[in-house]
Amino acid sequence: GENVEQHPSTLSVQEGDSAVIKCTYSDSASNYFPWYKQELGKRPQLIIDIRSNVGEKKDQRIAVTLNKTAKHFSLHITETQPEDSAVYFCAASISAGYTGNQFYFGTGTSLTVIP
């Protein structure tokens, strides 16, 4: 099955700096890659996603890039703010029609933004 690795496990940045979290996957059939943010004591929530037919996607201060050849994808957060502090999970999914969508999550990255 799919194996998703995520690095780093912890990341501290100064407010205003950029943060980058990287994930690799093993199954070339994976075609959907979401990122989830989980604040302390809260549920994980989708913040951005990318499909395999796209190389990059941006939404305000966050962006995701995908390199299908190398089987890795990354989350980029620019101009970080204290409210960006959370645990971030990447995931890979094989979407195969109605019965598809088996998700494989990375191990999470705890991001701390220092004011």
- Per the structure block, which two tokens stand in for 72? 């890795």
Looking at beta carbons only, is 16 or 45 nearer to other proteins? 45
Nearest partner of 51 among 88, 93, 22, 20, judged by Cα: 93
- Strands (DSSP E) along 8-85, which ranges? 10-14, 19-25, 32-38, 45-51, 56-59, 62-67, 72-77
DSSP secondary structure of 78-98:
-S--GGG-EEEEEEEEE--GG
Contacting positions for other proteins (CB under 8 A): 32, 34, 38, 40, 42-46, 49, 87, 89, 91, 93, 95, 97-99, 101, 103, 105-108, 110
Looking at beta carbons only, is 35 or 80 nearer to other proteins? 35
Looking at beta carbons only, is 78 or 112 nearer to other proteins? 112
> Minimum distance from CB of 25 to other proteins (Å)?
15
> Minimum distance from CB of 95 to other proteins (Å)?
6
